Structures are given as structure tokens and as C-alpha cells.
Amino acid sequence: MKKLLTTCKIFAILAVLTLTGCQDENNQVLQENPSEKVSLSDLKREITPSSQVIPKAVQIQLDESKKNIEKYLKNDLKIEGIAVLGKLSTEKGVSLSQNLISQKDNFVAAGNILDLESVKIGKLENLNSGEDLSIAQKGLKDMAIEEIKANANVLEISWNHNGEKFSTLCYYNDSGIIWDNILGGLVMMDKRGNSEASNDAAAKVSSKWYKQWWTANWLWGSKRGEIGYQITIYYTGSSVSNVDVSDWGNISLGKAKSESKVTKKTGAYGQCRYALGLCTPTGSLSFNSSNFSVSFSGLGSNVVSNGIKSLYP
């Protein structure tokens, strides 16, 4: 069965921001209208001053993100300052924010900070071109429309990337960070994935399973998304009589796909194929049924895994 999961509503649990998402991905592209170009000055006119005290949950996320950026990116990227701008008090301010986030001259980031070579930071228009740029802009705009609402608070974060200085807007509420083009564009992920198998001693009956999964985390450490599959064989002696396979994929503020199918159901072993992928909003995933694989295009933090798994009694 084809599964396409994308962005949904943010909700918070205690002081840690936990997000789940599902959003339809389509092939429409966003055309930026020069007359709609907005600036930070335009937005500031629609922001109401608010408390300069950053909520504890947000401060923890900022502190942990800063620690992980310093640990894994060393001196390549630094947070140099954080300023509270206030609260989005009007629908016009919300609309300006949604447009501002996705403008092509805005700075964005993509990549896995545990894999330095995958990290890209720069203006959206310098990291993408043609259809990839339109897909990235549309992904950011759709995410912003879904998540950034009236009464959200706004921080301005000042960055230094190898001597190049710029700033981003970080939207948040009392429960945690909603979105920032740098903090939200980067992930922490072990691309080797994780695996687990059933205990043969405990499974005396006639079944055995194996599962493998990949997890993406926010920069502050909490789980952001996961893709994986599990194969189970049923057997008597050394002969397999049936095979089940399942798969899953989800990510907060991004896109995920998961597909699996049984390719050998009986005999000396069981076998399945799997096709999995997840990425942040600026990227795109597609599934090719002819070669049973997921592929990634555009700009975005991502992991894709296509393969075959055999399991013996």
C-alpha cells in the first residue's frame, strides 16, 4: 500500500516539543511574485511587543541546539545573538511571516550535522535552481501556512557561517519552537540505522522477526521522525510457510514515504523488499513502483533506504 505522510499540527507535551506530521505532497510549484516580496521591517510593524523572557521549554531547545551545533559543526556555524521581537498580533503579520520564510533570498540549512559533508547553508536561491527552487519554496510556504498562526512569538537569531553573517526568524510558543529555517532545516541522524531481532530461545513456537529503522532528531535532541520495516516468518522445522512484512514512515514538518512487499513467502527462507525515505520540507520524495524504490530530489535533510531482507528459520 502506498503511504505518503507529510506535515500536520504541532502539539506539545510538557517542556519538550513533540511533533507529528502528515501533509499531501504534490507536483505544483511556487512562483514567487516580485510584488509580494516582503522585508523584516514590514513584519516588525505587525508585531506587538511582548515579554523579553523566553519560555523555559524554548530556552532549553535553543541551549541544546547550540551545544550540538558547536559539538558537530565546530566553528563552521555559530549563534551570535538572540533577540525577542514580540508576538504576531494580526492576520497580516501571519501572512507576511508565511511569505518571508519562503522567499528565495532567505537563508536556509539542510543536512545531517552528524555527517558534516551533507550540511549545506546559504540563500535558498543559491542552493537550488529551477524546479528544485520552486519545490523548496512551496514546501516552506505550505509548512508555514499550516503551522504559523496568530499569537505565535518571534525571535530573531543572528548567525555566523564561516564569516558570513545573517539572521533568521524563529517562531515559538510557550511549549517550544515552531520553526526556524536553520534549526528546522538541520537534523541529527545516524544513517546506519538501528536493527532488532526476535529472541530465538523465547520464540520456541514457529515465528521469527527482524526489524530495521532510521530515526531523525531535532537539533535539541528530541525525536522528529522515523522510517522502518519489519519482516516476520512462520515456519515448521526448517521450512517457511508464510511471511508478513510491515513498514512505517513519519516526520514532523517534512515528508516521508514507506513501501514494502513480500517477495518470497515459502521455502527455505522468507524475503521482502522495502523502500523508505524521509526529508525536511525543502526536499521531495518519489516512489518508483517498477524498480520498487524511493528517491529524493531537491534540497533537504534526508535519508533514503531501499533494499531486500531475507530471514531464515
Q: How many CA atoms lie within 13 A of 233 on its CB side?
A: 26
- The phi and psi torsions of 80 (rounded to 5 degrees) equal -105, -15
Q: Which helix (H) or strand (E) holds 203?
A: none
Q: In the chain, where does DSSP find H-type helix?
A: 40-44, 56-73, 91-101, 124-127, 130-147
Name which of 118, 285, 100, 275 is nearest 185 in CA terms.
Answer: 118
Q: Tell whether 180 and 238 lie within a shared domain.
A: no
**Which residue range forms the structural domain that includes residue 213?**
194-311
pLDDT score, position 42: 86
Q: Tell whether 138 and 175 lie within a shared domain.
A: yes
Q: Tell whether 34 and 123 lie within a shared domain.
A: yes
- The phi and psi torsions of 147 (rounded to 5 degrees) equal -105, -30
For residue 104, being part of any structural domain is answered with yes
Q: Is 108 exposed, middle or buried (0-12, 13-18, 19+ CB in 10 A)?
A: buried
Q: Tell whether 170 and 21 lie within a shared domain.
A: yes
Distance between CA 32 and CA 103 in Å, rounded? Answer: 8
Q: Tell whether 159 and 110 lie within a shared domain.
A: yes
**Helix, strand and coil in the chain, % to nearest 5:** 20, 45, 35
Q: State the total domains in the chain.
A: 2
For residue 229, being part of any structural domain is answered with yes
Neighbours of 279 (CB within 10 A): 27
Q: Report the SS3 class of residue 276.
A: strand
Output the tens digit of pLDDT for each of the chain's 313 residues: 333 333 333 333 223 333 333 333 333 444 445 445 778 888 888 899 888 899 999 999 999 999 999 999 988 999 999 999 999 988 999 999 999 999 999 999 999 999 999 999 999 999 988 888 988 999 999 999 999 999 999 999 999 999 999 999 999 999 999 999 999 999 999 888 899 998 765 545 599 999 999 999 999 999 999 999 999 999 999 999 999 999 999 999 999 999 999 999 999 999 999 999 999 998 889 999 999 999 998 888 899 999 999 999 9
Prediction pTM value: 0.80
Q: Residues 6 or more apart from 244 whose CB is under 8 A from it?
A: 231, 232, 234, 262
pLDDT score, position 226: 96
Q: Tell whether 171 and 78 lie within a shared domain.
A: yes
pLDDT score, position 24: 36
